[in-house]
Structure formats: structure tokens, C-alpha cells
Structure 1
Amino acid sequence: MQRNPVGKLLLFGATGDLARRMLLPSLYGLHADGLLPDGLTITATARSELDDAGYREMAQAALGEFLPDDRKDDAQIASFLDRFGYQSLDASRIDGYRALADKVGDVSGGLAIYLSTAPSLFEPTIEGLTSVGLAGETVRIGLEKPLGYDLASSREINDAVAKGFPEERTFRIDHYLGKETVQNILALRFGNSFFEPVWNARGIDNVQITIAEAVGLEDRASYYEGAGALRDMVQNHILQLLALIAMEPPARFDKDAVRDEKAKVFRSLRPVTPEEAPHVTVTGQYGPGATNGKIVKGYVEELGQQSATETFVAIKAHVDNWRWEGVPFYLRTGKRMATRRSEIAIQFKPVPHSMFSGRGGMLQPNTLVIRLQPEEYIQLQVMAKEPGLDREGIRLREVPLNLSLDAEFAGTRRRIAYERLLLDLIEGDQTLFVRRDEVEAQWSWIDSIRAGWAANGTKPKSYAAGTWGPSGAIALTERDGVTWQDD
């Protein structure tokens, strides 16, 4: 695609945890590798009362804490920090935006805004930016989640943003789409000819998507209590992964073709009716238990009050179209799980007839596992003959064919997801960002599940920290003769 880099970047929430852990190290990585435009200036803004020197000092401390040792270079860090200026701002007060605009300066050469604020601040922020000329044709905006808590609030936010920024200048961020292995889903599917003939209901029995976290609330208690696992993880990350697995082949790798096909998947998701909700969804909340050999508190104890917020959800979903008719998509996410893991497991249908029946042992269906974290690999489980003279018949065993991205590309530095997304925002490539119709179709499906829970008075079942969730999650798949991929 034709890239259109801007000359300036405006970073909201610049003193927050996300900025310190991810955004500053990512921008530094791009700077150190010569990928930021020459002369790009970065204006940081937040409520904290700092001057330029004070912010640079804070940013230097963050880089010292979160950069890998092999990336630290005093000269590079110094030149990177020279790009920064800082302007204090209360985003809810319109009278502060004039000083911000003066700090940013002339935007005729292009400005990219990275906005990471509470949803309640989106509308006043857009109004403030518009009032001082920071929303014109040369300005684009990147929006960090959460973008609402249901379809209605998401539309309100999108309408507010659209007053200052049309869709072609709006970049909605889902950091999972910046992960190397997630993009390898597209390479695997559409760069190899042998998968496509079986990538459908004739060849695939089921698909499992798991995002499991070993951590609890950490410092996200106020946000998480109002969101829960369904809104926090399923609405965005898990559904985006589902779309990449289920989408039809785009004509081109560009912002329109890729996002058109993803949107079709979201519109094809079968709504969950109140009658079906108890049978196709499971909710849970972690209680006391042990993770990584340590005794940990339950959610209610960590929160300090009673709560009906789910920290675990499992869903049996269907994509109602020609390719996927009848194929269940099992979705699962939770906190305080047995281990940290993000992966997609695609189980193919068994061979139609086994010539080894009664002699070679049980044939296992082939399974393709795409591991996103903590390791990054693609693994295909296949049946192979065990070594031997076979005097009592051929013995078969399941063995893995592995593609370890860390090993195969050992000489290439692995990029933080935010490096790619920030660079695409600066250069104007929307391919890996989420379009409005995608977001609203995702919320529509999520809202149908929440309506089902409300109609049935569904409360999360307790599960011990350090396990794979409540027993109902196991029953969800085993009713169909399917077992979760927990190895």
C-alpha cells in the first residue's frame, strides 16, 4: 500500500502503565531501528503536572525498567527522548486544549493521535481536539479499548469520534492483531495451497480458541469489575482470532479486503437466544487456590466486596455460512487459570476408514495448534508408524510436526505488537485495525449472550484458582465428544 507518514505524534495517557510498559519501549524500538520518520516529534500529555524535562526523566526510567538489556543504548535513548515534549491536560476541560495545540504546533505535515482514556472522556476529548484544529484532514487518531461496554455505548463513542474523524482517519486498536503469530494465521491459510481444500465443514470437526491468564486482578480491579471476561477478552481478542480462522480468502492484503471478510464472519455469528444461553455458555469466578506453587486469594477477596462479575467464560459458537455450517467454535478465556496460554486448536475430521483397525491402535484426528503465547509456534499433530519389525502389526503413534517461529527466525528480532501498530498508525495503514462495522457486529453478538444471562439469572460458578475453570466448561465440549486442548 501507499504509505503516508505523519510528522508528529500526540500521545494521550503518556504517564500511564500502558505507556510505560508498551508504548514507550515500542516507539524506542522503532527509533533505534531507524523506522520512525526523520524529524518526527512526539508530544506527550496526561493529567500529571510535568515539564519537558520531567517527562523525559520519567520516560527514561520506564525504558530502563522495561527495555531488554540488549536493546539499551545510552546514545539511542538520549536521541529518542529528544523527540519528546510534554503538556499537562485535564481531558475533560475544553479550556486546556489551546495550550496543547500550541505545544503540538503546525500539523500541516500530518499528526497521528494515540488516545488511551476512559470511555467517558472520548466525547470531550474529540470536542477539545476539534475546537483547536487538531482534527483536520491531516490528522488521524488511534483508539485504545475499551470502546464501550455494549452496542449502544459503542455507537455513542463511534458517533462522537466520527464528529471529528471520519472512518478513513480512525484506527481502532486491538493489540492481538499486531502479534506476529496472529498474522501468521493469514500466511498459513492463504500462502499455502494444501490447507484450503480441507479448511471447511467437510474437513474440520471443531475449532478451539483459548486465552488463559494465570494472573488475577493485579491493578485493574475498577475496570475489570465493570467489564468481566466476556467484554474484556471475548468481544475483541477472541472474536478477532475467530474471524481470521473463519474468513473467506480476501482478494488482496489491504484494509478494505481483509476487513470486509472479517465483518462478514461477525455478521454470520449465530445469535445466542435466552433459551440457548444456559446450554452454550458457561461462566465462572475464581476462588482461592494455587498458581505457580503459590496460594492465592479468590476474586471476591482480591476485590474486597461481593461480586457477580465473571472471570471465566466458555462459549460454543457457530458461524452460519456455507463454509462452516455445523462446525462448533469453542471459545474460552479466564483469569487464574492453570497456566498462561493463548492458542488456537483446529481439529480435523478423522479418516473415513482405518486400514489399521484392531492392529495399529486408535487413530487420532489430526490437530493443528497455533500457539500465540507464551511460546510462538505452529504444530501439526499427525499419525506416524512406531519403529520396529511389526511382527504383531503396525503400531501407530501421534507425533508433532513443529514450526517454531523463535527457532526458524532466530536471527530476526521479535517485535512487540505495539511496534507494528504504532508504525502503521504513523504511516497510515489501517489493515490491522478494526473498522466500525466490525466492532458493532461484535458487540451485537456479545449483547445477545448478556441478555441470555440476564433472562436466566445466570451467576458465575466458582472454580479454584490454578485450574481450567468450572466443571461446566468440560461438559460444554464433552457433550459433543470433544475434549479441550489442555496439553
Structure 2
Amino acid sequence: MPGTRSPVAKLLLFGATGDLAQRMLLPSLYGLHADGLLPDALTITGTARSEHSDASYRKFAKAALDEFLPEDRKDEEKTKTFLARVQYQSLDATDQAHYKQLSEKVGDVSGGLAIFLSTAPSLFEPVIKGLASAGLAGDTVRIGLEKPLGYDLASSREINDTVATAFTEDRTFRIDHYLGKETVQNILALRFGNSFFEPVWNARGIDNVQITISETVGLEDRAGYYETAGALRDMVANHMLQLLALIAMEPPARFDGNAIRDEKSKVFRSLRPIAPADASRDTVTGQYGAGAVGGQIVKSYTDELGKPSTTETFVAIKAHVDNWRWQGVPFYLRTGKRMAVRRSEIAIQFKPVPHSMFSNRGGLLQPNVLVIRLQPEEYIQILVMAKEPGLDRDGVRLRELPLNLSLDAAFAGRPRRIAYERLLLDLIEGDQTLFVRRDEVEAQWSWIDAIREGWTANDMKPKTYASGSWGPSAAIALTERDGVTWQDD
């Protein structure tokens, strides 16, 4: 019997004909196969409602690889051997009789089975029940759960309870694909692998932290989901809070799933709830109007949707972590669609030096800033003060200069893997380090629910902002009343 940290012999992909499978999962699995990282005997069974034979699904998978694989990763022979691993079984997730056929297709799972489940929250109960009844949920089976894992604390608990009827926590892998990004993992290396950050990584050394995830796209093909979710549930409740936790967590004793997730969970429990009385002061919501993005005229959210809506496509939040390390340090979170640029970034502004020896000579100091860029480029940058060359007869001239560590350039010879490659391999091998534990998820939802309750209590409606901008003007006021400016450069 394989343990929780041993590779499985079989992989089962739900939603195998969907957009995620085509763009991410199949290319990721191919990449792992091409580099010899998958177990030699691993079989991959795809399942979805669509009707396919093994042969027609292999053609479908081949078309996805042709479209979404980078040219330098394509190899005809490796594609052929990868597709030989793949088979398919159609499934109506609501029909319990179909799971017996799925089980027969998957075959013997005594050597271990990993399931990747991407489904609507309403289908979790019939899917988990069906898997259990068909013998696809025993001790040798682990399950990866793609979001959305509910839309509030109550629905999240219901899903977690449903999953727990068939899968123990050590066999449950909740996926947040941001945790698979190289630069996100580099936050841990930056913080805990370098001695000079830790002494100032606290309220004595840091003035504020800003986390921005901005998108230039609009609804695309996600209207049905997004209209019921909004920016708060879609981005803040998972990606942004996970980034906040990695910045704010205490040093773990070791690099493993329990130690890291223990420290993240403490951060979530320390988040100061935003009371209804503070919601209008500490949060801003917006919805994009018409405008121009990348030189192209674009429609408003409601025009794209085709009906009136009060769903937020932008949210900014001033958050606090109420513990010894972070007391008094604001964490500003900002995310939105149809914004000026596509960017995922963490900016940490340090406190100014206690005394400027240059002020009597006209030298002006700026606080140091550490910028961790996750996308579209991947780099770490420190903004430091330097003296401009010259004889200084008219005073000392100081200027802010960047010290750059480009991860793309520094590791140019190494393959840049997409997040799902790492996460799928960790699921197959049973490593939970980069997956989210139940107590984390529920603590996140508890904090998010309080914000939404505040919006309802104050009858807060999203403010319109022009597409191609940085969101509503109220988001600027959120920071500037504290003397802080968003890092928009």
C-alpha cells in the first residue's frame, strides 16, 4: 500500500475536456512526462460529460498540446509516448451508476490513485459519493481539489465535510495554483534563506505591505461563475490571502507541509476582522466601465454581461495582522479586472532611517522598498538610496536606484515550469507542502464573510472605474490618508 508520500500508479482527471485541462493540465503532464518525472507505469484517465473513445480523446489531447505547448517543448516521439498513457471514460457526475464504469476503466487502485477534481460546488456531494461507492476513495487514493471550494464559510464547511466522509485530511490536496509559482516559493527562500531580512521583517522595520493582482482582461468566458463570485471571492479569498500569509508567517521549523501550513494558519487566525462599522473605511469596491486597455476600446462589465449587476470587479482592502510581529503594520490588498496593466506583485516598504544626516545639505531620502514581481516578469528588486556623482557644491543629490535580481535571467538555462506541473507532480508523489489545509480555507472564508456582511450592512455598491485605469479613486484615498502611495510604477 502506498503511503501518503509515495508515488501513485494512476491519475484520474475530472473535467478532462475543459479549458483548464486543455491549457494547463495536459501540457503540464506532458512536460513532466517529457522530462522523465512521471512514474514509468503511470496511466492517466480523463473523464467528463463529453462522449469520447480512447482514440478520439487522444486526438483531443493532441490538439490541446499542439495549441498550448511552447514550440521548444514539442517533440513528436514524446507526444506519442505521452498519449499512450492516456485513456478516457465519459461520466454523468450526477448518475451514480456511471461510477462503476469509471472504476472499471481506471482499474486496480491498490498501487495508488490520485484524483484531480475540478467541478462546480454543487457536484461535490454526488462525485464524492460516487467515488466512494465505486471503490475509488480507499486508503490508496488521494484527491486534489480545484477551486472554487464554496462561496462562503458555510458552503466551504459543507464541501469539506463531504470530502472528509471519503478522504482523510492527509489524502486531501486543496489546490491554489499561486502556491506552485516559482516566485511565490522564492518568498520563502528570500525570507528564511538570508540573514539580513529577518531582523527588520517586523513592525519595527516595515511601514506597510502592498499586494496587487491586476488583470487587463474582462469577463472572457467566465460570466456565469464571475457574476456569482466577484473579485473578493475569486482572488482575495485564496491567492491574495495566501501571499499575505507567506509574507507574514513566522519561520517554520522545516520545509514540509505541516510546519509551513501551521504557520500560515496562525496568520489567518490573527487577521483582524473588518467590522461592519469599518467596512466603508477599510474596503473599496469597484466595477469597470467602458474605456481603453492596450489601445483597444472595451465595453463596461454590465455591457459584457448583458444586464445590470452589482458584482465587484475590483476590491481594495486595508488589513491588519494582530500579533506581536505585525502590530500596527497595514497590509493593503488590491485586485481588479480591466486595469492599466497585468501584474502580480508584492511591495514591502520599510520604515525610513531614524535620522537623515543629509538634510542640511539638501539630500532627500526615500524609504527602501522590496518588490517581489510574480508576473508577467519574475524578479526581486530592492530600491535603495545612492548619491549622484558630482562635487556637491550646491548640495548632496540622492537618488533612488533599483538593485534587480531577474529570476528569468539568472536561471535562463533552466526550464520555467508552469505552476500546475509542480502541483500535479506533488499530488502524484503525495507532497502536501504547497497545498492548502482545511483550517486555512475556513479561516480565510471567515474573514471574507465578515467583509461581505459589512458591505451588506452599509449597502455598499461598487464604484465605477474606467477600464485601463488603476481602479476607483477611493482606492487611492484608502492608502493616501495613511500617507502611503500605491506602487504603480
- TM-score range, shorter-chain basis? over 0.9
- Matched with 2:163 is 161
User: 1:93 aligned to 85, 95, 98, which one?
Assistant: 95
Offset from partner CA, 1:112-166 (integer Å, 9 cap, x none):
0000010100110000000010000000000000000000000000000000101
- Percentage of identical aligned residues: 81
Deviation at 1:360, TM superposition (A): 4.0
Name structure 2 gaps, 5 residues minimum.
none
Paired residues of 2:271 and 2:321 also in contact (CA < 8 A): yes
Is residue 2:226 matched to residue 1:224?
yes
For 1:233 and 1:359, the matched residues in 2 are separated by: 47
1:244-255 to 2 correspondence within 5 Å? 244-255=246-257
User: 1:283 aligned to 282, 285, 303, which one?
Assistant: 285
For 1:313 and 1:358, the matched residues in 2 are separated by: 42
- Matched with 1:107 is 109
For 1:24 and 1:95, the matched residues in 2 are separated by: 27
- Matched with 2:23 is 21
For 1:165 and 1:360, the matched residues in 2 are separated by: 66
For 1:221 and 1:92, the matched residues in 2 are separated by: 24
Is residue 2:406 matched to residue 1:404?
yes
- Matched with 2:83 is 81
- Matched with 1:117 is 119
For 1:139 and 1:194, the matched residues in 2 are separated by: 43
Deviation at 1:394, TM superposition (A): 2.3
1:448-459 to 2 correspondence within 5 Å? 448-459=450-461
Deviates more, 1:419-428 or 1:360-369: 360-369
For 2:362 and 2:230, the matched residues in 1 are separated by: 47
- Matched with 1:423 is 425
- Matched with 1:355 is 357
User: After TM superposition, where is structure 1 displaced by more than 4 Å over at least 4 residues in a row?
Assistant: none
Deviation at 1:362, TM superposition (A): 1.6
1:194-343 to 2 correspondence within 5 Å? 194-343=196-345
For 2:229 and 2:385, the matched residues in 1 are separated by: 43
For 1:358 and 1:159, the matched residues in 2 are separated by: 65
For 1:92 and 1:164, the matched residues in 2 are separated by: 17
Offset from partner CA, 1:213-256 (integer Å, 9 cap, x none):
00000000000000000000000000000000000000000010
- Matched with 1:187 is 189
| Number of residue equivalences | 487
- SS in structure 1 of the partner of residue 374 of structure 2: strand
Paired residues of 2:288 and 2:337 also in contact (CA < 8 A): yes
- SS in structure 2 of the partner of residue 94 of structure 1: coil
User: 1:39 aligned to 17, 38, 41, which one?
Assistant: 41
Deviation at 1:390, TM superposition (A): 1.9
Deviates more, 1:385-394 or 1:82-91: 385-394
For 1:37 and 1:18, the matched residues in 2 are separated by: 23
- SS in structure 2 of the partner of residue 86 of structure 1: strand
Offset from partner CA, 1:287-339 (integer Å, 9 cap, x none):
00000000000000000000000000000000000000000000000000000
User: 1:65 aligned to 57, 63, 67, which one?
Assistant: 67
- The one-letter code of the counterpart of 2:190 is L
- The one-letter code of the counterpart of 2:75 is D
For 1:359 and 1:304, the matched residues in 2 are separated by: 61
- The one-letter code of the counterpart of 1:142 is G
Paired residues of 2:363 and 2:395 also in contact (CA < 8 A): no
Deviation at 1:369, TM superposition (A): 0.2
Deviation at 1:92, TM superposition (A): 1.1
- SS in structure 1 of the partner of residue 30 of structure 2: helix
1:362-441 to 2 correspondence within 5 Å? 362-441=364-443
Paired residues of 2:364 and 2:397 also in contact (CA < 8 A): no
- The one-letter code of the counterpart of 1:248 is E
Name structure 1 gaps, 5 residues minimum.
none
Offset from partner CA, 1:180-205 (integer Å, 9 cap, x none):
00000000000000000000000000
- The one-letter code of the counterpart of 2:367 is P
Paired residues of 2:373 and 2:380 also in contact (CA < 8 A): yes
Q: Which TM-score applies when normalising by structure 2?
A: 0.99
- The one-letter code of the counterpart of 1:419 is E
Deviation at 1:389, TM superposition (A): 1.9
For 1:359 and 1:485, the matched residues in 2 are separated by: 28
- The one-letter code of the counterpart of 1:109 is G
For 2:87 and 2:171, the matched residues in 1 are separated by: 24
- SS in structure 2 of the partner of residue 276 of structure 1: helix
- The one-letter code of the counterpart of 1:249 is P
- The one-letter code of the counterpart of 2:215 is E
Q: Which TM-score applies when normalising by structure 1?
A: 0.99
Deviation at 1:3, TM superposition (A): 3.7
Paired residues of 2:47 and 2:88 also in contact (CA < 8 A): yes
User: 1:445 aligned to 444, 447, 464, which one?
Assistant: 447
Q: CA RMSD in A?
A: 0.8
For 1:123 and 1:179, the matched residues in 2 are separated by: 30
Deviation at 1:2, TM superposition (A): 8.6
Label 1:388 to 1:2 Cα distance change in 2 as closer, same or farther (>3 A). Answer: farther
- Matched with 2:467 is 465
For 1:358 and 1:394, the matched residues in 2 are separated by: 9
- The one-letter code of the counterpart of 1:291 is V
Deviation at 1:392, TM superposition (A): 2.3
For 2:97 and 2:22, the matched residues in 1 are separated by: 27
For 1:410 and 1:336, the matched residues in 2 are separated by: 31
- SS in structure 1 of the partner of residue 382 of structure 2: strand
